[in-house]
Amino acid sequence: MEHEEVVFSVEVLTGDNGRVVVIPRGELDMATQGELRGALEVARSSGDVVLDLSELRFLDTSGLRLILETTEASRRKGFGFTVLRGSAAVQRLFDVAGVEELVPFEEPT
């Protein structure tokens, strides 16, 4: 069985409501979280940010830490930040870590 390599990418879109949507795809881990961090910082300078986790196949603790840091920064610096839920596998990490209630989740529309 051939192993399919997962390529990580981040797409940044401006929504019609003025919010900036950041969509990471693939696996968010220690090797890729820097790319997402950069995209979030750019998005943050343009307005309120929505992080859409629906295209992630994997999330590790370094990605989780980045999401928690961004949540805290949004509270301190006064910009909007919401997170659209990912797959059951991605959401499980928030539950296992006991931090789901700390993240501003929004249901996808």
Flag whether pLDDT at 27 surpasses 60.
Answer: yes
Q: Where are the domains of the chain?
A: 19-48, 78-109
- Angstrom distances, CA of residue 7 to CA of 4, 61, 71, 74, 80: 9, 19, 26, 29, 29
Q: How far is CA 42 from the centre of its chain?
A: 14
**Residue 7's pLDDT is what?**
84
Amino acid identity at 11 = E
Task: List, for residues 49-69, the tens digit of each pLDDT value.
Answer: 999 999 999 999 999 999 999
Name the band, by pLDDT with cuts 50, 70 and 90, for residue 3.
low
Phi and psi torsions of 29, nearest 5°: -145, -170
Q: How far apart are CA 20 and CA 36, in angstroms?
A: 14
Residue 4 banded pLDDT, cuts 50, 70, 90: low
In angstroms, the CA 23 to CA 40 distance is 10
pTM (2 decimals)?
A: 0.91
**Mean per-residue pLDDT, 22-35:** 96
User: Which pLDDT tens digit goes with each residue over 29-54?
Assistant: 999 999 999 999 999 988 899 999 99
CA distance 103 to 68: 7
Neighbours of 9 (CB within 10 A): 13
More confident residue, 76 or 108: 76
**CB contact at 8 A, 31 and 63:** no
Kindly state the average pLDDT of the residues 17-30: 93
